[in-house]
């Protein structure tokens, strides 16, 4: 029987750092095509209902704040407040690791090339100097790959969450607009004509 908890919630720090918690799902997909029952349960904080409620609250506060300042509410300000400090911190940390690892890798490669050149010309470099540069290359490469892998995982996730919130907000506006336009005309058309007109209106608003 499938556990109710998401594997990421039960994963250790090492498992989260190496993304090992997702291997079980990948292994099941390797054995057979996945269906809905094979997928892990969605975390509560990742559910569309939870995220939409959160964004609606933030957008409502943004409109109240803008009204007090007698300015227009800014969607980009609400989007900045939409993500938690943990998400910002982790995203910044992965960027830092990727940049630091890349810098260390390139620096160590250049130092190793320089050390080899000095050794060939003058024979002054020790073996320890080579080992330091080689380990710098290894560590830099590991840090860069670690940062890039996590960055490439979290950025699409944040993009999906933000898109879901904005689309939900747009659909709410569209539904209100449809009600304001179509409802007064209900008594002037037959049910079939009214439904046809309503469908045409929805199709048009979704394509503009």
Give residue-wise pLDDT tens across range 46-93: 787 888 888 888 888 888 888 888 888 888 888 888 888 888 998 999
Averaged over 152-157, what is the pLDDT?
Answer: 87
Higher pLDDT residue, 99 or 20?
A: 99
Q: What is the pLDDT of residue 27?
A: 87
| CA triple 77-80-86, angle to 5 deg | 155
Tens-digit pLDDT profile for residues 111-144:
888 888 877 666 655 667 788 889 999 999 999 9
Tens-digit pLDDT profile for residues 167-187:
877 777 766 666 655 555 555
Structure tokens at 166: 């904005």
Spatial separation of the C-alpha atoms in residues 23 and 56, rounded to whole Å: 35
3 state SS of 143: helix
Burial class (CB in 10 A: 0-12, 13-18, 19+), 180: exposed
pTM above 0.85, yes or no: no
Residue 95 has pLDDT above 90, yes or no: yes
Averaged over 28-42, what is the pLDDT?
Answer: 82
Q: What is the pLDDT of residue 193?
A: 59
Residue 208 has pLDDT above 60, yes or no: no
Averaged over 97-106, what is the pLDDT?
Answer: 94
Spatial separation of the C-alpha atoms in residues 177 and 189, rounded to whole Å: 19
Q: What is the pLDDT of residue 109?
A: 92
Sorted by where each begins, the domain ranges of the chain are: 1-41
Q: Buried b / exposed e across 72-96, counting CB within 10 Å, b at 16+?
A: ebeeeebbeebeeeeeeeebeebee
Spatial separation of the C-alpha atoms in residues 122 and 114, rounded to whole Å: 12
């Amino acid at each position: 029987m499938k556990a109710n908890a998401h594997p990421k919630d039960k994963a250790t720090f090492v498992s989260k750092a190496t993304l090992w918690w997702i291997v079980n799902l990948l292994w099941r997909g390797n054995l057979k095509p996945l269906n809905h029952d094979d997928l892990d349960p969605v975390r509560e904080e990742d559910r569309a209902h939870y995220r939409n409620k959160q964004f609606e609250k933030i957008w409502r506060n943004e409109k109240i704040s803008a009204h007090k300042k007698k300015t227009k509410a800014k969607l980009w300000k609400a989007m900045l407040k939409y993500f938690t400090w943990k998400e910002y911190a982790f995203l910044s940390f992965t960027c830092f690791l990727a940049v630091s690892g890349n810098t260390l890798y390139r620096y160590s490669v250049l130092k190793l090339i320089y050390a080899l050149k000095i050794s060939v010309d003058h024979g002054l470099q020790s073996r320890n100097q080579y080992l330091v540069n080689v380990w710098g290359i290894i560590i830099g490469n590991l840090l860069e790959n670690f940062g890039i892998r996590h960055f490439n995982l979290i950025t699409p996730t944040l993009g999906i969450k933000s898109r879901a919130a904005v689309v939900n907000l747009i659909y709410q506006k569209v539904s209100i607009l449809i009600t304001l336009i179509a409802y007064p005309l209900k008594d002037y058309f037959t049910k079939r004509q009214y439904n046809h007109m309503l469908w045409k209106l929805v199709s048009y608003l979704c394509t503009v």
